[in-house]
Structure 1
Amino acid sequence: MDLTLSHAAGRTDVPLIEQTIGAFFDAMAARHPQREALVSVHQGRRYTYAALAAEVDRLASALLGLGLQPGDRIGIWSHNNVEWVLMQLATAKVGLVLVNINPAYRTAELEYALNKVGCKALVSMATFKTSDYLGMLRELAPEVATCAPGALQSARLPALRTVAWIDVAGEGTEQPGMQRFSALLASGQVGDPRVAQAAAGLTANDPINIQFTSGTTGFPKGATLTHRNILNNGFFIGECMKLTPDDRLCIPVPLYHCFGMVLGNLACFTHGSTIVYPSDAFDPLAVLQTVQAEKCTGLHGVPTMFIAELDHPRFKEFDLHTLRTGIMAGSPCPVEVMKRVQADMHMGEVTIAYGMTETSPVSCQSSTDTPLDKRVSTVGLVQPHLEVKIVNPETGATVPRGERGEFCTKGYSVMHGYWGDPAKTQEAIDADGWMHTGDLATMDDEGYVNIVGRIKDMVIRGGENIYPREIEEFLYRMPQVQDVQVVGVPDQKYGEELCAWVIVKPGQSLDEDAVRAFCKGQIAHYKVPRYIRFVDAFPMTVTGKIQKFKIRDAMKDQLGLAEAKTA
C-alpha cells in the first residue's frame, strides 16, 4: 500500500465473528450467567445475563406465535427501555428483521416507513410527553378499533397485522385491537423448540435490521444491516474502549440509532458488560444521577448531551470518578468540549467514533490510548477488517495524504443495501464494494482521519442527520408554496439549524406560523425549520442552478454570523 496516498487498512489479527447475534448472546450468557446484563433505571428493572436470555427466548417464542416467519419485518417505535432490547435480541434470534422507527416520526413518516418495508407487526409506546403514539396509529388505521388483536386489515397500512403497545403490566386501559406487550411476552415459552428450529436456519449474513436514513430525495431510505455487520462493529467498538465484564456503560443515546443499539448495546453484549439506561429519553440530570448511583465506568453521548451535562447547575454535586471511557459521536466534536469531558467528568479514555448508518455504523475510531492531540482533533484510525480511502469526488482517484476528498469505506461493515432500492444501493456502493459516504475528509501521515465537511447539503442538528431535500419535498405539499430551498446555518446549541427560503405562489399569502403549523404532527420536530424567510427569487448560476451556499451566506449575514461564511 502506498503510504503517500490517503488509503489505509485496519488490522486483522483478531478474527471476525461469524455467528448470529442470537448464538453469540447465548454463549455470552452461558459464560456470565449471574453478571448484571441490563439495568433500566427509569423502569426500576434489572436483569442478569441468564435472566435476560430467558426473557429473550420467551419473546422469540411469542413472536413466532404471532405467525411471523424468518425474514418478516417488525417495527419498534419507542424510546429506550427493556422492551426495546428484548425486541433487538429476540427478533435476531429467530431471523425477524427489526425495523427501527424514530419516536420523533409523525403520521406521514410512520406510514411511509411501515409500508416501505412491509412491516407485519409493530411494537409501540403508548404515549410520551405530548406525543400520542397509539392515537397516531389510529389516525392511520382507524380499522384497528374494531378488529381482533392480530387481525388488522388497514387500507393505508396494508401489510400490518399486529400492534402491541408497551405497558406496565396490569396498568392502563385496554386498547381495542391492540395487544399489551406484557401479554404478548407472557404468551411465549422458554425452551420453545420452534425458536431453536428457526435459529438453526439462520446465517450471519442474513439481514436483521433496517434503519431509516434521510435521503437526498423524497423520504428516507431503509439501510438494511446483517448480523455480521452490526455484531462485529459492536465488538470492535468495545475493543477500542477496552470494555470488560466489569464495565457498566450508561447509554442515554437513542436505541433507534446505531449509536444506542450498536455502539451501546452490542458493544456491551460482546464483552459481557452491563448496559445502564438512565431514562427513556435524554435527561442530563438523570444521566448524572445514574452514573453516580450505578457506578458507571462508561458514558456515551453526542456533543450537545455532554454540554448539557457539564453545564447542568447541579453538575458539581455528583461523584463521577467511576467514569473511565465512553464515546462522543453523532456530530462534529468540539475540541474544548472533549477536553472538559476528559478533565471534569474523569473520562480520560473517552473516544471519538465516526461512521454512518450504512456502515453499521463505525468506520474510524480513536482508542483509549490514542495520543490526546489526535483524540481531540481527529476521528481516529480505520477499524479492524475495514479499508478506508479518500478520493477526488470528480475522478475517483485516491488523493495524497493531507488533501481533502470524499471518504469511502469497504469491508464487512458495508450494509446489505437499501431495502427495495437496488438503484440507490448501486449509487452508494460502487462495483468494487466501496461505500461512498458523501463526507469530505483528510488523512494525515499516520493514518488519522479528520472529517472536514459534506459534499452534499446534509445538515447535522444535535446529532440528527437531516437532508434538506426531504424537508423541501414536504413543504412543496403546501398549496401556497411555489418553490422552497432548505439549508443549514451554524448554531451554538445544536451545531446547525434549518432555514427555509420560500417563494409564495402569486395571489397567495403565507406566514411563518402557517408553515410551522403545517409541519406540526406530520414531520419530526427537529426537521421543522427554525428560520423561515419569504423571498422573490433564489440566487442562481447563469445555467439556472440554485446556489445554496449563497443562501447560507445571506442567512449568516442576517444572523450576525458573517465571519463564518462559506469559503
Structure 2
Amino acid sequence: METRNGSAASAVPAQPSYASGTSEVALLGDTIGTNLDRTAARFGERDALVEFATGRRWTYREFVADVDALALGLLDAGLGKGDRVGIWAPNRAEWTLVQYATAKIGAILVNINPSYRVHELEFVLNQSGIRMLVSAQRFKTSDYVTMVEQVRPQSPALERVVFLDTAEWEALLQPDGDARRLAEAQAGLSADDPINIQYTSGTTGFPKGATLSHHNILNNGFFVGELCGYTEIDRVAIVPPFYHCFGMVMGNLACTTHGSAMVVPSEGFDPATALSAVATERCTSLYGVPTMFIAELDLPDFDSYDLSSLRTGIMAGSPCPTEVMKQVIDRMGMAEVAICYGMTETSPVSTQTRADDSLDRRVSTVGRVGPHLEVKIVDPSTGLTVPVGEPGELCTRGYSVMLGYWQQPDATAEVIDAARWMHTGDLAAMDSSGYVSITGRIKDMIIRGGENLYPREIEEFLYTHPDILDAQVIGVPDPRYGEELMAWVRLREGAGEMTAETLREFCSGRLAHHKIPRYVHVVDEFPMTVTGKVRKVEMREEAKKLLDLG
C-alpha cells in the first residue's frame, strides 16, 4: 500500500501485552481494624466465623468483641505498632482472632507454616525479630511445645510464648486495660503501615519475608470477593491454610469486607469434613487447590453430600485440569467458580477469571487483571513489553505489590524495579482480550500440590548431611501433586548407601515434610554446560526415564 505521495505506509504497531484493571468501585482507604468495625456495625447479628469441627461460632458483634479483647490483651503485654507477633497454628478460630487483633494495634503478624520444623522455625523467629509467639501445642505429628523449647535459647528477640488452650491464652482474652487505649492505638495507624510478614521459599537459600500493608491485603481480599460477587448472605468454606494468603486474604479478608461468613471446616484438610461443612453450614463458596477438589470428588460417598447451596468458589495454587473443572461445575454446582493467579509478594491475586467466563477460559488461562492493577509481559533480556501473543515474563504493578522483603533491600530490588513493577519470574502470554496464560517458570520453582518450593533452599539443607558432597533438587511429574521432589546427590568418598528412605530419615523432624525429596538418585557428576552450570533441564528429562514417568 502506498500513500498519495508514493511512500509506503507504516505498519500498524502490534498491540502490546499490557492490561489495566478499570473499576467503578474505589480502593479502600481503611485499616483492617477500622474496616472490620464498619462491617460489624452493619451486620452485627450475622455469622462472622464458624469453626465447624468444634461447633464454635461468632456473630460479627461477638467476633469484634473477642478481637478487641485480645487486642487490649496484647497492648497490656507491652506490644504495639511495628512489633512482630508470630502465629504458629493450623486453621482454627484463634488464628483469625490473632490476625485481626494484631491489625487493630498495628503489630505485624508473622505467619509461620504449621509444617515447619526446628530448622525453619528458628530462622523465621530471628529474621523477623518476633517478640511474642502465639502457638498451638501440637498439630498432627508435630510437638510444637518441644520445638519451641529447642529454639528459645537461640532466639534472643523472643520474649514470650503463649500456647493456645492454656490459662495464659485465656488471660490474654480478659485484659485489665482501659478500652480507650485500643481506640487510641487504632487512631495512630495508617493504611500503608506494614501489618503482615509471609515467608516465601528462597531461591538463594533461606526464605524471604514478604512484607504486606493493610492497604495491600485489605484491598486484595475485597476485590477478590467483589469478583466472586460476595455479599452478607455468602458463606465461604475456607479450606486452604490461614498461614498462606489463600486462607487469610482471599478467605478471611474477602469475607469480612463483605459481611460474609468465614466457615473453617477443620484444622487441616480433610475432604469429607470439608464437604460436611459445606452441606451443614449451607456454604455458597468453596476454596481449594486442585488436589483438594480432586480428593473431595473422589470420596466414595460424594453423592450423599447436599452441595446445592454452592454457587462459586476459588481454585488456585496450580493449573486446574479440564476434567476436574468440569466436575466442580457439574457435580458440585459451582457454576461461577474462579481461577486466581498471584504470589505472596502481590497480596496475592493479580489475575482472576470472571463468573461468566467460558470453561475454556477457566482451564487454559488464569483470567484477566484485577481491578486497580496492571499487568504486562516483558522480554526478560530487555525489559521491553512484548506484542500480544508472544511469551515473556509476567510483571504486575499496583496497590497489591508488597512493601518489600523484610530487612532485605537487595533481594527486594531484584524483583521490584524502579517503576514499582513486580517481576514474577513466571513466563506467560497475553491474548488480545487481556487473558493471561502461564507457560512456564524462568527459575526452577517447583509447585507441589499448590506449594511453591525452591530447590536452592532444600539443597542448602541437604548440604548439612555428612555424606553429601553436592546436591541438586529438581521437580518431576506426579499425577497427584503435579510435581514431586527428586534429589540428585554426589556422595563423599567412603560414604554409605544413600536411598530415599535414609534421606527421609535424616530430614524428618528438621525439614517440613513437603520439602523432603521423594526420590533420590546418586551420581558421580551432574550434567553441566560448557560454562560450568548444572543442566537441570537435562536432569529432568533423564529423571523421567529413570523413574519411568513418561
TM-score normalised by structure 2 residue count: 0.96
Question: In structure 2, which of residues 196, 215, 219 is the aligned counterpart of residue 209 of structure 1?
Answer: 196
Per the alignment, in what secondary structure is the counterpart of residue 42 of structure 1?
Answer: coil
Tell me if the contact between 1:59 and 1:188 (Cα under 8 Å) persists in the aligned partners: no
Question: In structure 1, which of residues 484, 507, 517 is the aligned counterpart of residue 505 of structure 2?
Answer: 517
Q: Does 1:432 pair with 2:443?
A: no
Per the alignment, in what secondary structure is the counterpart of residue 337 of structure 2?
Answer: strand
Aligned equivalent of 2:278: 291
> Which deviations, in whole Å up to 9, do the C-alpha atoms of 1:205-233 show, x marking residues without a partner?
00000000001011100000000000000
Alpha-carbon distance between aligned partners in 2 of 1:474 and 1:373, rounded to the nearest angstrom = 41
Q: Which runs of 5+ in 1 are unaligned?
A: 142-153, 170-178, 563-567
Alpha-carbon distance between aligned partners in 1 of 2:130 and 2:497, rounded to the nearest angstrom = 38
Q: Does 1:13 pair with 2:24?
A: yes
Question: In structure 2, which of residues 116, 139, 154 is the aligned counterpart of residue 105 of structure 1?
Answer: 116
Aligned equivalent of 1:541: 529
Alpha-carbon distance between aligned partners in 1 of 2:354 and 2:124, rounded to the nearest angstrom = 36
Deviation at 1:43, TM superposition (A): 2.4
Distance 1:133 1:206, change over 3 A: same
Aligned equivalent of 2:133: 122
Aligned equivalent of 2:457: 470
Question: Which letter maps to 1:33?
Answer: G
Q: Does 1:384 pair with 2:371?
A: yes
Q: Which runs of 5+ in 2 are unaligned?
A: 1-12
Tell me if the contact between 2:319 and 2:363 (Cα under 8 Å) persists in the aligned partners: no
Tell me if the contact between 1:335 and 1:376 (Cα under 8 Å) persists in the aligned partners: yes
Question: Which letter maps to 1:131?
Answer: S
Deviation at 1:547, TM superposition (A): 0.1
Alpha-carbon distance between aligned partners in 2 of 1:128 and 1:31, rounded to the nearest angstrom = 36
Alpha-carbon distance between aligned partners in 1 of 2:456 and 2:54, rounded to the nearest angstrom = 39
Q: Does 1:493 pair with 2:480?
A: yes
Alpha-carbon distance between aligned partners in 2 of 1:161 and 1:39, rounded to the nearest angstrom = 32
Mean Cα displacement is larger for which, 494-503 or 506-515?
506-515
Aligned equivalent of 2:55: 44
Aligned equivalent of 2:155: 157
Alpha-carbon distance between aligned partners in 2 of 1:220 and 1:180, rounded to the nearest angstrom = 31
Aligned equivalent of 1:185: 173
> Which deviations, in whole Å up to 9, do the C-alpha atoms of 1:476-535 show, x marking residues without a partner?
111211111000001000010000000001222242233212211111000000001111
Mean Cα displacement is larger for which, 71-80 or 474-483?
474-483
- The residue correspondences of 1:166-565 to structure 2 (distance < 5 A) are 166-167=164-165, 180-187=168-175, 192-512=179-499, 513-562=501-550
Alpha-carbon distance between aligned partners in 2 of 1:510 and 1:471, rounded to the nearest angstrom = 20
Question: Which letter maps to 1:140?
Answer: V
Tell me if the contact between 2:89 and 2:139 (Cα under 8 Å) persists in the aligned partners: no
Runs of 4 or more consecutive aligned structure 1 residues displaced over 4 Å after TM superposition? none
Mean Cα displacement is larger for which, 488-497 or 371-380?
371-380
Question: Which letter maps to 2:547?
Answer: L
Per the alignment, in what secondary structure is the counterpart of residue 531 of structure 2?
Answer: coil
Per the alignment, in what secondary structure is the counterpart of residue 543 of structure 2?
Answer: helix
Alpha-carbon distance between aligned partners in 1 of 2:63 and 2:194, rounded to the nearest angstrom = 23
Question: Which letter maps to 2:414?
Answer: E
Tell me if the contact between 1:3 and 1:445 (Cα under 8 Å) persists in the aligned partners: no
> Which deviations, in whole Å up to 9, do the C-alpha atoms of 1:248-281 show, x marking residues without a partner?
0001110000000001000001111001001010
Q: What is the RMSD of the two structures over their aligned residues, measured on CA atoms?
A: 1.3
Mean Cα displacement is larger for which, 299-308 or 124-133?
124-133
> Which deviations, in whole Å up to 9, do the C-alpha atoms of 1:11-57 show, x marking residues without a partner?
13211101100001001100111011110011221100001011010
Alpha-carbon distance between aligned partners in 1 of 2:203 and 2:455, rounded to the nearest angstrom = 7
Per the alignment, in what secondary structure is the counterpart of residue 47 of structure 1?
Answer: strand
Alpha-carbon distance between aligned partners in 2 of 1:471 and 1:289, rounded to the nearest angstrom = 37
Question: Which letter maps to 1:161?
Answer: E
Deviation at 1:3, TM superposition (A): 7.2
Tell me if the contact between 2:374 and 2:397 (Cα under 8 Å) persists in the aligned partners: yes
Per the alignment, in what secondary structure is the counterpart of residue 191 of structure 2?
Answer: coil
Tell me if the contact between 2:394 and 2:428 (Cα under 8 Å) persists in the aligned partners: yes
> Which deviations, in whole Å up to 9, do the C-alpha atoms of 1:52-86 show, x marking residues without a partner?
01101000000011111210000000111110000
Alpha-carbon distance between aligned partners in 1 of 2:97 and 2:438, rounded to the nearest angstrom = 35
Deviation at 1:325, TM superposition (A): 0.4
Question: In structure 1, which of residues 80, 83, 87 is the aligned counterpart of residue 98 of structure 2?
Answer: 87
TM-score normalised by structure 1 residue count: 0.93
Per the alignment, in what secondary structure is the counterpart of residue 348 of structure 1?
Answer: coil
Question: Which letter maps to 1:387?
Answer: E
Tell me if the contact between 2:52 and 2:263 (Cα under 8 Å) persists in the aligned partners: yes
Question: Which letter maps to 1:62?
Answer: G
Per the alignment, in what secondary structure is the counterpart of residue 306 of structure 2?
Answer: coil
Alpha-carbon distance between aligned partners in 1 of 2:301 and 2:381, rounded to the nearest angstrom = 51
Per the alignment, in what secondary structure is the counterpart of residue 131 of structure 2?
Answer: strand
Tell me if the contact between 1:60 and 1:188 (Cα under 8 Å) persists in the aligned partners: no
Alpha-carbon distance between aligned partners in 1 of 2:24 and 2:484, rounded to the nearest angstrom = 43
Per the alignment, in what secondary structure is the counterpart of residue 15 of structure 1?
Answer: coil
Tell me if the contact between 1:245 and 1:271 (Cα under 8 Å) persists in the aligned partners: yes
Deviation at 1:186, TM superposition (A): 2.0
